[in-house]
């Protein structure tokens, strides 16, 4: 898969409440019916964590289920069970490819031990504050294409009022990003997207603004130098905003302040 802005019909096993083997195909079929299509090009396991089943007729949107103290509830389905149910989506023509999201390296290595259908794609949070070179190298060495979400870092989480994101310096204002953008006559957003695509990582930025949508599509018309790419990668702070651990058991965990 080349580095690209994705236009394929991709969908997620969107709720963690459908990880049990008998739940996967019905929810996929419901999503296909909602879209009015026969199959997905790519169907992803959204999170490596299961929650208990929730009947969609009783709760919409399903979101995360929590106990009375606000702690996320755990489901019983192990990843292997969910993956094997997703493999059957490929067997039955409901998905051309299947993939994973928010998986770390050891989970990928484990999944590859039993996968009859290998994951085509790994979708991860990826921006200069969270570079994850080892994870990306592992995926590439296993022939798994990497897709980045939250390419602009903290701004993706501002609308959620997430303190960790509100406290983090905005990448668009970062002097390194601004300097490189000015050198190429591009916007900081375009530099952030090009930094990914030039390293073989697909990007899927979203915007409600037509000018920014246009801008985000125009990221193949310039090349960063290797020194510029390395300078941007050097901004790494191992700062993750969408952490599966937050929805598993540590929802009240207080993160230490990020250091410069």
Ligand X SMILES: NC(=O)c1ccc[n+]([C@@H]2O[C@H](COP(=O)([O-])OP(=O)(O)OC[C@H]3O[C@@H](n4cnc5c(N)ncnc54)[C@H](OP(=O)(O)O)[C@@H]3O)[C@@H](O)[C@H]2O)c1
- Record the tokens describing residue 60, joined without a space: 């919409």
Applying CB under 6 A, does 156 fall inside the site for ligand X?
A: yes
Applying CB under 6 A, does 123 fall inside the site for ligand X?
A: yes
Distance CA 103, CA 110 (A): 11
Distance CA 87, CA 141 (A): 22
Residue 204 to residues 39, 118, 146, 148, 196, Cα–Cα distance (Å): 20, 22, 11, 7, 11
Site of tokens 């999170």: 47
Applying CB under 6 A, does 46 fall inside the site for ligand X?
A: yes
Applying CB under 6 A, does 207 fall inside the site for ligand X?
A: yes
From the CB of 119, what's the least distance to ligand X, in Å?
A: 13
Applying CB under 6 A, does 250 fall inside the site for ligand X?
A: no
Applying CB under 6 A, does 209 fall inside the site for ligand X?
A: yes
Applying CB under 6 A, does 15 fall inside the site for ligand X?
A: no
From the CB of 217, what's the least distance to ligand X, in Å?
A: 10
User: Residue 92 CB: number of other CB atoms within 10 A?
Assistant: 12
Applying CB under 6 A, does 107 fall inside the site for ligand X?
A: no
From the CB of 68, what's the least distance to ligand X, in Å?
A: 26
Site of tokens 């390194």: 176
How many helical (H) and strand (E) elements, i.e. helices and strands, does the chain have? 10, 6
Contact yes or no for 130/240 (Cβ under 8 A): yes
Applying CB under 6 A, does 170 fall inside the site for ligand X?
A: no
Contact yes or no for 72/64 (Cβ under 8 A): yes
- Record the tokens describing residue 22, joined without a space: 């008998």
Number of residues counted as binding ligand X (CB under 6 A): 21
Give the interface segment with ligand X, choosing from 52-60, 107-115, 128-136, 201-209 (CB under 6 A): 201-209
Applying CB under 6 A, does 174 fall inside the site for ligand X?
A: no
Applying CB under 6 A, does 101 fall inside the site for ligand X?
A: yes
Applying CB under 6 A, does 51 fall inside the site for ligand X?
A: no
Residues that bind ligand X (CB under 6 A): 46, 101-102, 123, 149-152, 155-156, 189, 204-209, 212, 215-216, 242
């Amino acid at each position: 898969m080349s580095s690209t802005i994705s236009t394929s019909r991709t969908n997620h096993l969107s709720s963690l409440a459908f990880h049990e083997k008998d739940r996967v195909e019905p929810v996929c079929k419901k999503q296909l019916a909602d879209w009015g299509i026969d199959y997905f090009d790519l169907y992803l396991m959204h999170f490596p964590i299961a929650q208990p089943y929730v009947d969609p007729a009783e709760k919409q949107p399903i979101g995360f289920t929590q106990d009375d103290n606000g702690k996320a509830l755990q489901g019983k389905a192990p990843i292997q069970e969910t993956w094997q149910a997703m493999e059957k989506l490929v067997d039955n023509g409901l998905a051309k490819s299947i993939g994973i999201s928010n998986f770390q390296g050891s989970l990928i290595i484990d999944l590859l031990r039993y996968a009859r259908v290998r994951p085509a794609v790994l979708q991860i949070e990826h921006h200069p504050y969270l570079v994850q070179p080892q994870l990306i190298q592992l995926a590439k060495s296993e022939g798994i294409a990497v897709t980045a979400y939250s390419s602009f870092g903290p701004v993706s989480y501002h609308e959620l009022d997430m303190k960790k994101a509100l406290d983090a310096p905005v990448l668009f204002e970062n002097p390194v990003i601004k300097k490189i953008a000015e050198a190429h006559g591009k916007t900081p957003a375009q530099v952030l997207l090009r930094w990914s695509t030039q390293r073989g990582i697909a990007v899927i930025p979203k915007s409600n603004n037509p000018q920014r949508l246009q801008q985000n599509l125009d990221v193949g018309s310039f090349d960063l130098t290797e020194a510029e790419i390395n300078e941007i990668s050097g901004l790494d702070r191992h700062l993750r905003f969408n952490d599966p651990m937050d929805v598993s058991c540590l929802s009240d965990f207080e993160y230490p302040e990020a250091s410069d």
